Structure 1
Amino acid sequence: MCRSIKTLRPPAMPEVEDADIRAAALQYVRKVSGFHSPAAHNREAFDAAVEAVAVATSELLDALVVRGQ
């Protein structure tokens, strides 16, 4: 879907920072919405979506069990 989103789970990325998760969330929301930078009247919804995706991504990464680790 979005080729610039990196795989964040180990072993592809041993340490994931909040900035990495936010960058992936931002890329996802940009792709889905079709906006690189939304207009002022869409900014609140755009930012809320980025935050929601970042939280979901963080929860997913915390819950994953990677075999062989």
Structure 2
Amino acid sequence: MKVTVDEDRCAGHGMCLTLCPEVFQMTDDGWAVADPETVPPGSEEAAREAIDNCPERAISEID
């Protein structure tokens, strides 16, 4: 599973970081990034929860 954050949609709420800190980080400017882009084994459920709970719908799963 891989995820990405649309930087044009992200508003910096940080919900993703709260739900899945293994994948999401906040930049110095306050925007979320997926790092690593590939979700580690065992973190898939938390990553999907972050996708579902992003207020701006800025996170998506990619192939």
Give the structure-1-normalised TM-score: 0.34
Choose between structure 1 and 2: higher helix proportion.
1
The structure showing larger relative contact order (alpha-carbon pairs under 8 Å, at least 6 residues apart) is: 2
Give the structure-2-normalised TM-score: 0.36
Larger gyration radius, structure 1 or structure 2: 1
